[in-house]
Structure 1
Amino acid sequence: MGEIGLNQFAPYLLNRVMARWNVDLQEALKDYDLTTAKMRTLAVLSIAPGLTINELSLFTVIEQSTMSRTLDSLEDQGLIRRRTREDDLRVREVMLTDEGSATFQRFWPTMYGHFSDLFEGIDEDEYQAFVVTLHKLVRNQQKLDQRQDGA
């Protein structure tokens, strides 16, 4: 660590960026009666309706126990509904209600504004290179996970 320093240590920099992102979003979410977990869930369901709790946990990067409580709260707020999957009665899938969709649509401009602020001064080529690099990191992490699971 001493050789490269914190300002050259990518995991440290990623953590700083994400910690600030989460703090800023959490502050903005208060106006919408949402938490970060609720916002992530609404965001994922807005593009991928009908997911299971396991799938939502994976895509939102939220532990399953937290996801279960988040879904209970979202359901109490009338923002999601759960239904039995037609082809497998053992599986319950989660859908946005009209109110859930409307809530996400109201929040999205705020979220996108934070995103735009975060990437200010970064041109499209730099952004695309960054996303490609992040995908490579995710694949490397998945390989590590598979090795650990198989060990």
Structure 2
Amino acid sequence: MFDLANFLPYLLNRAGARLAIAWTHESRQLGVALQEWRVLAALLSHQPQRMSELAAMTTIDRTTLSRLVSRMEENGLVTRGRSGEDGREVQIELTENGVKVTNGLLPMASRYETTALEGFTPAEAKAFKQMLKRVFDNLDRL
């Protein structure tokens, strides 16, 4: 018999939806949507990034990402320029304001991770993250 409560896609979606709803509610006052946070966090980890790299890292399709980056550029969070390696490629970087906004959101992001992993030992949390990365990689085969 099918058990939805133990079906992995359902569990992943449920956890992700709960995080997204809470994040959206809390970050609304800060003016940074969840997808914008993903872009900011990805760029804080490594910049500049080509649009294709940023799309892969954030799992945002390139068309949506292009519109999102345009809005973020208008809001002074990122800049867009041509790659020195390949003039056809667009590179995205955080502005000083983008770095400031992202750093301001890090405590909230850390609190969300801490809350989500409450009750896990450090070893369990590490193993769980590794397993989620494997699940993500496995799903490339679909």
TM-score range, shorter chain: over 0.9
1:148 is aligned to none
RMSD: 1.3
2:71 is aligned to 73
Separation (CA, whole Å) in 1 of partners of 2:98 and 2:15: 28
After superposition, residues 107-126 of structure 1 pair within 5 angstroms as 107-126=105-124
**Does 2:89 match 1:91?**
yes
Match of 1:16 among 2, 8, 14: 14
* TM-score (normalised: structure 1): 0.88
1:127 is aligned to 125
Shift of 1:6: 1.9
Q: State the identity as a percent.
A: 27
Separation (CA, whole Å) in 1 of partners of 2:134 and 2:59: 18
2:27 is aligned to 29
Return the index of the structure with the highest Cα Rg.
1
2:104 is aligned to 106
2:46 is aligned to 48
Aligned residues between the structures: 142
Moved over 6 A (4+): none
Separation (CA, whole Å) in 1 of partners of 2:63 and 2:84: 25
* TM-score (normalised: structure 2): 0.93
Q: What residue ranges of structure 1 are gaps of 5+ in the alignment?
A: 146-151
Shift of 1:59: 0.9
